[in-house]
Every structure is written in structure tokens, then in C-alpha cells.
Amino acid sequence: MSGVVAALLAARFILGRADLTMVLNGALAGLVAITAEPLTPSPLAAMMIGAVGGVIAVFSVLGLDRLSIDDPVGAISVHGTVGFWGLLAVPVTNSDAPFSSQLIGAGVIFGFGFVASIATWAIIRAAGGLRVTEEDEYRGIDVAECGLETYPEFTSGTK
């Protein structure tokens, strides 16, 4: 809940309006932030960790947009950026978790994710490619693969 409220307030302050996508990402961000160590924080500390996660998610989404990094649903922001925050917050409430171990863990997670992603994309590219034909791209992949227009109000009506 604290991630929701913090993201709502941050979006309102930065954008001048309440933004539903930021609020929803704030809800997820609060959960992601506290998931790294849910056992040792007090309820107040858990709320603060979640609230910081909600604010970080808003700034991360806006920052990635400014950098023209394609993240249409905020997955990098919520799971990557806020997940990193959650790892760094563990030593705050758990004295058995040194900060250096958290950084090493984050590096290992990033390294594995990077290598696994590169390998997966290479296999997909070799197996059949990552792009649809230019004609299917122009008509819309919904028509090419599903046989119908998902948003007919935005098209000319021809197939």
C-alpha cells in the first residue's frame, strides 16, 4: 500500500496529475522492494522500503522514457531498478546480510539475466527471426496472426 501512495504522490508532484500506470507500477514496486527480505523489517520499515520503491519506480519509468528505452509496461523499472533497491535495503534491517554480499548478488543476477537473454534472443533469431514481414507490420500483427483488427477505430478499415 505504501508503494501505491508514494507513487501517486510522486507522479502528482512530477507530472501534475495522478497517473494510473504509475500507481499500478507503484503497487508492484512496493511488493518487489520488500520481497528481497520480508522477514526482518518491522511493519514500519517494510512500509518505508515499499514507499521508496514506489517513488523509484516513477523516476525510473520517466528516466527510461527520456533515454528512449522501450519499456512499455515498466517491467525494467519495477523489477530491475526497484529490485536492485530491495537488495540494497536488506542490510538496513538484517545485520547478517552485508552490503557487499548484496552488491555481489545483484551483479550475479544481472550477469545471468544478460547472458541468458542474449542466448535466448540468438536462438530465436536463428530459429526464425525476430521480425514479421514488412507487409504484416504495416497491416498490423493482430490481422496477420489473429485474423482481426484489435483497434479498428484506428485503421482505415481495409485488410
Nearest Cα residue to 75 out of 111, 124, 29, 30: 29
Q: Which pLDDT belongs to residue 134?
A: 86
- Band (pLDDT 50/70/90 cuts) for residue 132 is confident
Top-ranked range on mean pLDDT: pick from 50-54, 126-130, 140-144: 50-54
- Say how far apart CA 22 and CA 25 lie, in whole Å: 5
DSSP notation for 30-79? HHHHHHTS-SSS-HHHHHHHHHHHHHHHHHHHHHHHHTT---TT-HIIII
Chain centroid offset of residue 48 CA: 20
Judge whether residue 156 has pLDDT over 80.
Answer: no
CA-to-CA dists, residue 145 to 80, 133, 148, 156, angstroms: 31, 12, 8, 19
Q: Lowest-confidence range among 39-53, 66-80, 101-115, 139-153?
A: 139-153
- Say how far apart CA 91 and CA 112 lie, in whole Å: 23
Q: Lowest-confidence range among 17-21, 71-75, 155-159?
A: 155-159
Judge whether residue 157 has pLDDT over 60.
Answer: no
CB atoms within 10 A of CB 116: 10
Share of the chain above pLDDT 70, in %: 95
Average pLDDT, the chain: 90
Q: Read off the pLDDT of each residue in 116-121 and give the average, rounded to a whole number.
A: 96
CB 61 within 8 A of CB 23: no
Q: Which pLDDT belongs to residue 16?
A: 92
Please give the residue that has the higher pLDDT: either 137 or 32: 32
Q: Which pLDDT belongs to residue 154?
A: 66
Q: Which pLDDT belongs to residue 23?
A: 95
- Band (pLDDT 50/70/90 cuts) for residue 61 is very high
Q: Which pLDDT belongs to residue 90?
A: 95
Q: Which three cell numbers stand for residue 146?
A: 489473429
